[in-house]
Structure 1
Amino acid sequence: MSTHHPLSLLVFGSLEKCLDEIQRKGSLISRSTSNLGEPIHDLRVDCRKGLAALDFYKPVIPQSCHERLRSKLRKFLRRSNLGRDLDVIIQALKEDDSQGAAQLLRRLKKDRKREFRDVQKKVGKLEFGSMKTKLHSQMLAPSLAPTQAAPVASAADWAKQEFQKVALQILSDIHVGEWDTESAHQLRLRIKKLRYSLELATSIAGEISLSMDESLLSQVQRMLGEINDLAVRIRMLRGYQCGRKRRKDQAFLEKQISADNQELDRSLQQWSEFWTPERQSCFYGALAKRTF
Structure 2
Amino acid sequence: MKRRLTDLELCEKYDNETQHTEYVTHLALKLFDRTRKVCGLSQNDKRLLEAACRLHDVSYSQNGKNHAGRSAGIVLDEGVSGFTPSERAVIAGAITLHSGRRCRVPARMNMIAIRDREKTLKLAAYLRIADGLDHGHIQSSSITSVSISRAMCEITVREDIYSANIEMARMKADLWESVFKIPFRIHHVRTDRVYGPRFGSVLNSRLSLIEYARKLVCILLRLAGDNVEGSMMGVDPECLHDLRVALRRTKAALRFFKPVLKDTTALELRDSITYVCDRLSIARDSQVWMQFLKEFETGGFGTGRGAWEEYINIQQSKNEKCLEDLRQFIQSEEFKKPFRQVSFFARVEVPRLERERGRQMEDLRVFMSRRLYKAFTRFPRLKKSLRAMDMEELHSIRRRCRRVRYAAEFASPALGHRALVVERKLKDMTDLLGTIHDVDVYLQMYMGSSLEVSTSLRRHLDSTRRKAMRKAIHGWRELSSDHFRRTVESMCGRRKKQKGAE
Aligning the two structures, in what range does the TM-score lie when normalised by the shorter sequence? 0.7 to 0.9
Number of positions where the alignment pairs a residue of Structure 1 with one of Structure 2: 270
The equivalent residue for 2:321 is 111
Q: How far did residue 41 of structure 1 move?
A: 1.0
Contact 1:230–1:260 (CA<8 Å) still a contact in 2?
no
Which one has the largest radius of gyration? 2
Instruction: Tell me how large the CA RMSD over aligned residues is.
Output: 3.4
Contact 1:58–1:66 (CA<8 Å) still a contact in 2?
yes
Structure 2 counterpart of 1:127, one-letter code:
R
Q: 1:273 to 1:33 in 2, by over 3 A?
A: closer
Q: 1:182 to 1:284 in 2, by over 3 A?
A: farther
Q: How far did residue 106 of structure 1 move?
A: 2.6
Select which of 440, 453, 456 maps to 1:252. Answer: 453
Select which of 242, 257, 263 maps to 1:42. Answer: 242
Shifted more, 86-95 versus 127-136: the winner is 127-136
The equivalent residue for 2:145 is none
Secondary structure of 1:127's counterpart equals: helix
Q: 1:218 to 1:67 in 2, by over 3 A?
A: closer
Say yes or no: does 1:11 pair with 2:210: no
Q: Measure the CA separation in 2 of the matches of 1:136 and 1:39.
A: 28
The equivalent residue for 2:157 is none
The equivalent residue for 1:69 is 269
Q: 1:40 to 1:156 in 2, by over 3 A?
A: same
Q: Measure the CA separation in 1 of the matches of 2:392 and 2:471.
A: 13
The equivalent residue for 1:197 is 407
Contact 1:29–1:39 (CA<8 Å) still a contact in 2?
yes
Secondary structure of 2:418's counterpart equals: coil
Contact 2:432–2:472 (CA<8 Å) still a contact in 1?
no
Contact 2:254–2:270 (CA<8 Å) still a contact in 1?
yes
Contact 1:234–1:260 (CA<8 Å) still a contact in 2?
no
Structure whose residues are more often helix by fraction? 1
Q: Measure the CA separation in 2 of the matches of 1:225 and 1:78.
A: 16
Question: Higher relative contact order at CA 8 Å, sep ≥6: structure 1 or structure 2?
Answer: 1
Partner deviation per Cα, 1:31-81 (whole Å, 9 max, x = no partner) = x54625221111111011101101110011134411221122111101101
The equivalent residue for 1:160 is 369
Q: Measure the CA separation in 2 of the matches of 1:282 and 1:210.
A: 17
Q: Structure 2: which 5+ runs fail to align?
A: 1-206, 298-302, 493-502
Structure 1 counterpart of 2:321, one-letter code:
D
Q: 1:284 to 1:108 in 2, by over 3 A?
A: farther
Say yes or no: does 1:127 pair with 2:337: no
Select which of 394, 397, 411 maps to 1:187. Answer: 397
Structure 2 counterpart of 1:17, one-letter code:
I
Say yes or no: does 1:140 pair with 2:354: yes
Contact 2:436–2:465 (CA<8 Å) still a contact in 1?
no
Secondary structure of 2:223's counterpart equals: helix
The equivalent residue for 1:274 is 474
The equivalent residue for 1:244 is none
Q: Measure the CA separation in 2 of the matches of 1:119 and 1:33.
A: 13
Partner deviation per Cα, 1:202-252 (whole Å, 9 max, x = no partner) = 23x24051596765334322321211101111233445x3xxxxxxx5222
TM-score, structure 2 length as denominator? 0.47
Partner deviation per Cα, 1:241-289 (whole Å, 9 max, x = no partner) = 3xxxxxxx52228x47854774476357525752565663257534653
Select which of 409, 421, 428 maps to 1:219. Answer: 428
Q: Measure the CA separation in 1 of the matches of 2:328 and 2:218.
A: 27
Q: 1:135 to 1:103 in 2, by over 3 A?
A: same
Q: Measure the CA separation in 2 of the matches of 1:131 and 1:91.
A: 37
Say yes or no: does 1:234 pair with 2:443: yes
Contact 2:369–2:415 (CA<8 Å) still a contact in 1?
no
